[in-house]
Amino acid sequence: MTQIISGRDISTEIRAELREKVSVLKSDYGVTPGLATVLVGSDPASQMYVGMKNKAAQAMGIHSEQLTLETETSEEELLGAVEELNGNPEIHGILVQLPLPDHIDEARVIEAIDPSKDVDGFHPISVGRLATGSGDYFAPCTPAGVVEMLVRSGHDPAGKHVVVVGRSNIVGKPAAALLMRKAVGGNATVTIAHSRTKDLAAVTRTADILVVAMGRPEMITGDMVAEGSVVIDVGTNRVDDETREKGYRVCGDVLFDEVKVKAAAISPVPGGVGPMTITMLLANTVKSAGISVGSVV
Amino acid sequence: MTQIISGRDISTEIRAELREKVSVLKSDYGVTPGLATVLVGSDPASQMYVGMKNKAAQAMGIHSEQLTLETETSEEELLGAVEELNGNPEIHGILVQLPLPDHIDEARVIEAIDPSKDVDGFHPISVGRLATGSGDYFAPCTPAGVVEMLVRSGHDPAGKHVVVVGRSNIVGKPAAALLMRKAVGGNATVTIAHSRTKDLAAVTRTADILVVAMGRPEMITGDMVAEGSVVIDVGTNRVDDETREKGYRVCGDVLFDEVKVKAAAISPVPGGVGPMTITMLLANTVKSAGISVGSVV
């Protein structure tokens, strides 16, 4: 029987732990973790994501604020808003929803966030500290979720060969950094494969654990994975499907039915990595609030 | 015939190019690249390294200053000295020689260096920008030297499988980051192996290009490398040898005579990566001076 690694279930488990931590922070330290989300413009997908994040935060007892700015907002105005949140003692985590409108320099905005509130983990200081393992930092939410899924489903990556397919700054590269750390969830031998990799199948077949984050629908087929391996599918793709009411279906980067037959364990899409991303954002916000009061919960 | 990749020769070639760039920066932009080295204490090895760096800079027409502080120097005094160098317009590169005395927080000192002068590439912002490929940054000198050696000896890593043995912040991890970048010298499929890797030989044998930075004398033996692979040895170890006048010999992490038989190309120790480290420090300093005047040389 192939083990199905449910991000939904693991997420529920982590959120219960977080709720507990939030109540300890409130009762013992007098602090309520605070998350600020910043949305520029009215992209429906971004609106939905930000809404989900705030709702999830509130359900956890986290104080959450959403700042919505017009598409025409200038870079300076946005930087001013970030600056204000940096200085707001009620806010422990700042999330600027990406992508930003074209006239705004995304890198400049991300670098304006106080690293001690960078719960998205995209500030170069956060990225650098994750790479070197020094100081306090927040790991990007999606790859942090992948690691949690592995550890909590009984597949500690330590000493295993993990192949990460994809080298994005949001998933692939930080996932590799987390998996090679000298820390729980790390100590793996890590290979990063990507669009320029020759004979991808030959590489993916060497994986004890395969993490796929390419954004290509169902590209990983049964012949590309080793018998008995563990497969985490980070992809979320919409593909046309006239048999569905909506005209599309959501699938991962892994051809689930084929790969499931060979894998010892596999995460589904939806219900896999997806729910973990928001959960890790909440975890980072709670961690940040904890650090701010010197708590160790 | 196995190709010997001479870091000494490639270094000479790069230094000639740098001398040319320095003279263009002086004549066309009116700027002399400036390097400041900071040495705390009187460790003989550190004294020697810093001396070599200054001498090499001067031979290139680079202005160089050495600041030597007593072992007892307080962290605040050192931070003050770094602050002064940050503000000195004649200095484009600041190198604080490591290790620092125990009473000084190394991470704090490195973070005090202006990232635009961080020619050692160890500031978390530099590490983060290297990882994400955004903004200006300086790559750490030793791994940058490894990449230069590969490219200039005709072994472009693009599309190749590179195995990096060692996950230090100084060599292994930044080497992996450079080799997977979407840039010249990058685009490789990269595996990072280390002390926790199971069956290291099985991993190293899969490498088209093997980069070894473990600090273990001659640990890579002939049976651990693939026929026709390219091997770069970053190790520099002293091992006892009574047949030598000094009582020791210097060797790499690779058992040269055995591996040479199987490899298509190999870098020796000494005369391999060693000379490249200082050369890349000079290259970073010249690059920094160029950026400061908007030059593209």
Sign of CA dihedral A86, A91, A92, A97: negative
Residue B170, pLDDT > 90, answer yes
Dihedral of the CA atoms B98, B103, B106, B110 (nearest 10)?
A: -100
Same fold? B30-115, B141-274: yes
Looking at the complex, does the CB of residue B161 fall below 8 Å from at least one CB of chain A?
yes
Contact B135/A180, CB-based, under 8 Å?
no
Q: Which of A173, A180, A190 sits opposite B131 (nearest CB)?
A: A173
Strand order in the sheet with B189-193: A3-4, A265-266, A230-233, A209-212, A161-165, A189-193, B189-193, B161-165, B209-212, B230-233, B265-266, B3-4
CA distance A285 to A64: 10
The confidence score (pLDDT) of residue A233 equals 98
Please, is A154 exposed, middle or buried when counting C-beta atoms within 10 Å of its C-beta (0-12, 13-18, 19+)? exposed
The confidence score (pLDDT) of residue B295 equals 85
CA distance B286 to A93: 39
Strand (E) or helix (H) holding B212:
strand B209-212
**Residue-wise pLDDT tens digits, A76-123:** 999 999 999 999 999 999 999 999 999 999 999 999 999 999 999 999
Chain A hits for B192, Cβ within 8 Å = 176, 180, 189-191
Contact A128/B133, CB-based, under 8 Å?
no
Residue B183, pLDDT > 70, answer yes
CATH for the A29-131 domain, from 3.30.70.120, 3.40.50.10860, 3.10.580.10, 3.40.50.1370:
3.40.50.10860
Residue B160, pLDDT > 70, answer yes
Contact residues for B200 (Cβ-Cβ < 8 A; gap 6+): B165, B193, B224
CA distance B122 to A134: 11
CA distance B219 to B255: 7
The confidence score (pLDDT) of residue A135 equals 86
DSSP for chain A, please give it.
-PEE--HHHHHHHHHHHHHHHHHHHHHHH----EEEEEEES--HHHHHHHHHHHHHHHHTT-EEEEEEE-TT--HHHHHHHHHHHHH-TT-SEEEEPSSPPTTS-HHHHHHHS-GGG-TT--SHHHHHHHHHT-S-----HHHHHHHHHHHHTT---TTSEEEEE---TTTHHHHHHHHHSSSTT---EEEEE-TT-SSHHHHHTT-SEEEE----TT-B-GGGS-TT-EEEE---EEEE-TTSTTSEEEE-SB-HHHHHHH-SEE--SSSSHHHHHHHHHHHHHHHHHHHHTT---
Among A120, A134, A136, the strongest candidate for a mutation testing the B interface, having the largest count of B CBs within 10 A, is A134
Spans of chain A, pLDDT less than 50 = none
Contact B194/A180, CB-based, under 8 Å?
yes
Confidence of residue B135 (pLDDT cuts 50, 70, 90): confident
Looking at the complex, does the CB of residue B66 fall below 8 Å from at least one CB of chain A?
no
Q: How far is CA B238 from CA A168, B136, B252, in A?
A: 40, 37, 9
| B214, B186 Cβ separation under 8 angstroms | no
Domain ranges of chain B: 30-115, 141-274
Contact residues for A218 (Cβ-Cβ < 8 A; gap 6+): A237, A239, A251, A252, A253, A254, A255, A256
User: Which amino acid, one-letter code, is at B243?
Assistant: T
Beta bridge partners of B254: B220
Residue B296, pLDDT > 80, answer no
Chain A hits for B135, Cβ within 8 Å = 107, 124
| B97, B103 Cβ separation under 8 angstroms | no
The pTM assigned to this predicted structure is 0.95
Helix (H, G, I), strand (E, B) or coil at B272: coil
State which fold the B30-115 domain adopts: Rossmann fold (3.40.50)
Q: Are strands A209-212 and A189-193 parallel, antiparallel or unpaired?
A: unpaired
Contact B191/A189, CB-based, under 8 Å?
yes
Average pLDDT over residues B31-50: 96
What's the mean per-residue pLDDT of chain A? Answer: 97
Phi and psi dihedrals of A24, rounded to 5?
Answer: -65, -40
ipTM of the predicted assembly exceeds 0.85: yes
What tokens were used for A274? Answer: 């997806």
Please, is B47 exposed, middle or buried when counting C-beta atoms within 10 Å of its C-beta (0-12, 13-18, 19+)? middle
Q: What is the CB neighbour count within 10 angstroms for residue B210?
A: 29
The confidence score (pLDDT) of residue A297 equals 65
A contact residues 165-224, partner B, Cβ 8 Å cutoff: 167, 169, 173, 176-177, 180, 182, 187-194, 196-198, 203, 206
Alpha helix ranges (H) inside B43-152? 44-59, 75-87, 106-112, 124-132, 141-152
- Report the CATH superfamily, name and number, of domain B141-274: NAD(P)-binding Rossmann-like Domain (3.40.50.720)
The confidence score (pLDDT) of residue A261 equals 97
Torsion region of B151: left, alpha or beta (phi above 0 gives left; psi -120 to 50 gives alpha): alpha
Chain A hits for B189, Cβ within 8 Å = 191-194, 196-198, 203
Q: What is the CB neighbour count within 10 angstroms for residue B184?
A: 11
Q: Which of B131, B160, B198 sits opposite A131 (nearest CB)?
A: B131
Q: Long-range pairs for A166-169 at CB < 8 Å and ≥24 separation?
A: A166/A193, A166/A194, A166/A212, A166/A213, A166/A214, A166/A215, A166/A234, A167/A192, A167/A194, A167/B180, A167/B182, A168/A213, A169/A122, A169/A127, A169/B131, A169/B132, A169/B133, A169/B134
CA count, 13 A, side-chain hemisphere, B133: 16
Beta bridge partners of A190: A162, B192
Among B134, B156, B203, the strongest candidate for a mutation testing the A interface, having the largest count of A CBs within 10 A, is B134
